Structure 1
Amino acid sequence: MAVCQQQPFLRPKTPFTGPLLGGLQEGKSVIIIGRVLVDANRFHVNLKYGSNSEADNALHINPRYEEEIEHIVYNTYQNCSWGKEEKSNCPFIRGQPFILQILVTKEAYKITANGKYLMDYKHRIPFNGVYTIFVDGMVELEFIGYQYPAVVPYKTMITGGLQPGKDIFIYGFPTKESKSVEFNLRHRYGIAFHYLSLFDENKVVCNTYENGSWGTEEKSGGVPFVKDELFQVKISCNKNHYDVFVNGQEVQTYKHRFTKLDDIDIFEVYGQLQLIFVYV
């Protein structure tokens, strides 16, 4: 079962200051998903040593667009002064969505952008004193999360079961070798909602598993995912059906066959994908 995670911040406004509950811990990741504004000159992400936006910066990540060559500056602000800058290329494109992941290890922050390795930034301030994230600049934020890595196959409990109005969010990337992306809403006797995207056949299959057998498949053409590209899936539970949205577009409606929604208490993810975050 998945470890209970801090609830993410959804569509926060900038400037944004938020807590990292329990402080940074080895093995956990900070995840920022957003979109760089078309006319952006720079934005910045800061991991703050302490509990407010005025504290020292253990890690400052600053994409810059106003200079001839776009790049990212990394630094630490301590004792009222900046340290030595480190730099990398900037994979964040103005006007385009991005995902930034910061994995905490004993020696360094391992930083990836859009699923690709960017750099290791060695600790200059002890990471276990970092309790705050601060984001500002010319960027729209979709999501900020703090978690242990999600691993496929993935399974987590739905506390209290499903109810009309309940939404489930999934963020990830299908790999270049991906054959399928699969989501299941389960109860103790079977699967209430099975959603399966098959890349080779370019189709989506939805079904219900009850009494030891599958029901009639509902098929539709066109897989809504692109290999190696970030997706956001929202599965909405309504009174009579499920709605599935991919990157904000409705792609599927599936009428309830199993109607005891309170009994649906497990969510699963399978397939060949890099799973970033699940929020139930």
Structure 2
Amino acid sequence: MENSKNWGEKMAVHLQPPFINPTVPFSTPIQGGFQDGMIITVCGRVLPDADRFNVNLEHGSDVVLQVNPRYSWLLPISGYVVHNTRQNGKWGWEERKVETPFPRGQMFSLQILITQESYKISTNGELFSEYKHRMPFSKVDRICVVGMVELNVVAFHYRVSHLPALPGSLMVPYKSIIYGGVQPGKCIVIQGVINPQAKRVGFSLRHRTGIAFDYSPRFDENVVVCNCYENGKWGEEERSGQMPFERGQTFLVTICCSPDNYEVFVSGKKTHTFSRRYNNMEEIDVLEVSGDVQLTFVQP
């Protein structure tokens, strides 16, 4: 069992609010420092004319880990990715992957999982690379993102079996106003824990007379259902057997709004796309969360 100090540090990081649409260059301290099992999620878009960008985990002037997608005229679309460490002003040897999950002009999600042995780096929900520690990960106290990239979300959470109800947890059912409505580029972030015996959870974007988008993981059916509710009737369900949630596990849901659809990312992986059926975007101004879930952070 963890001692109270380590548990307190984990709670501090778990509760560190995500950053929504931060400007680049981006830099922020990591509350409580790095711990085994911590996950950093970075979602964004590579600019169409990008030559490179960096995601750095730093300590002072040292770069403990650099994830560095690069592009060249020889590889104009795909490019390649470099991992490295800079210690005492000197770069080490480059570890290169001559492929990239970061195409120019495209959205991406990057996750870095810290383990005792290495950083496990996943992109768009798939393991991409593993980088063995060259410096103690406990030294990392800051994340920086620079270069030709736009950011939607930078978030911090833990992969743990279950978190108890936390002081300050948000009451469920939960409801809040989305000021300005779901205009294009709007990102809604929801962080929490699925209950161990969960049957159903609902994430809904509502307007005055209906529900523009209902996103419903159903553990009793092992499906995710997307739908809308208009004129007193539910529309045609879009059902997916891809279940990105686990009972008793933490989660990070990001709903990104565009003129044509809603894109849903779960813990950094793009999982579902739902085409808009209700187009008065400024009228979609209420977020509701219901069901078998605990909430720890919401950015409507």
Q: What is the TM-score of this pair, normalised by structure 1?
A: 0.64
Q: How far did 1:57 drift?
A: 0.1
Aligned with residue 143 of structure 2, among 133, 142, 147: 133
After TM superposition, the structure 1 = structure 2 runs for residues 190-209 of structure 1, keeping only pairs within 5 Å, are 195-196=215-216, 204=227
The one-letter amino acid paired with 2:64 is: A
CA contact (8 A) 1:232 1:246 kept: no
After TM superposition, the structure 1 = structure 2 runs for residues 38-53 of structure 1, keeping only pairs within 5 Å, are 38-50=48-60
Partner of 2:263: 247
Q: How far did 1:228 drift?
A: 9.8
- Give SS of 2:104's match: coil
CA distance in 1, matches of 2:243, 2:124: 9
Aligned with residue 66 of structure 2, among 44, 60, 68: 60
Q: How far did 1:49 drift?
A: 1.3
Q: Percent of aligned positions with the same letter in both sequences?
A: 34
Partner of 2:93: 84
CA distance in 2, matches of 1:94, 1:226: 30
Aligned length: 226
Distance 1:81 1:33, change over 3 A: same
The one-letter amino acid paired with 1:23 is: G
CA distance in 1, matches of 2:200, 2:70: 35
Q: What is the TM-score of this pair, normalised by structure 2?
A: 0.60
Matched, 1:71 2:80: yes
Q: How far did 1:267 drift?
A: 6.0
Runs (5+) with no aligned partner, structure 2:
1-9, 180-187, 192-198, 205-212, 245-252, 265-274, 280-285
> Which structure features the higher share of strand residues?
1
After TM superposition, the structure 1 = structure 2 runs for residues 153-172 of structure 1, keeping only pairs within 5 Å, are 157-158=169-170, 162=174, 164-165=176-177, 169-170=189-190
CA contact (8 A) 1:31 1:144 kept: yes
The one-letter amino acid paired with 2:254 is: Q
Partner of 2:105: 95
CA distance in 2, matches of 1:131, 1:11: 21
CA distance in 2, matches of 1:203, 1:221: 9
CA distance in 1, matches of 2:243, 2:46: 19
CA distance in 1, matches of 2:215, 2:243: 20
Q: How far did 1:135 drift?
A: 0.4
Q: Cα RMSD over matched residues? A: 4.6
CA distance in 2, matches of 1:101, 1:202: 25
Partner of 1:272: none
1:179-226, Cα deviation, whole Å (9 max, x unpaired): x994268xxxxxxx98537999986276xxxxxxxxxx8411263989
Aligned with residue 223 of structure 1, among 231, 238, 246: 238
Partner of 2:20: 10
The one-letter amino acid paired with 1:123 is: H
CA distance in 1, matches of 2:226, 2:24: 39
- Give SS of 1:221's match: coil
Partner of 2:182: none
The one-letter amino acid paired with 1:204 is: N
Partner of 1:189: none
CA distance in 1, matches of 2:214, 2:58: 42
Runs (4+) of structure 1 exceeding 4 A deviation are 159-164, 197-203, 224-229, 248-253, 264-269
CA contact (8 A) 1:158 1:267 kept: no
Q: How far did 1:45 drift?
A: 0.5
- Give SS of 2:138's match: helix
Distance 1:184 1:95, change over 3 A: closer
Distance 1:100 1:226, change over 3 A: farther
1:101-145, Cα deviation, whole Å (9 max, x unpaired): 000000110000111111110111111111100101110000001
Aligned with residue 122 of structure 1, among 132, 141, 149: 132
Partner of 2:298: 279
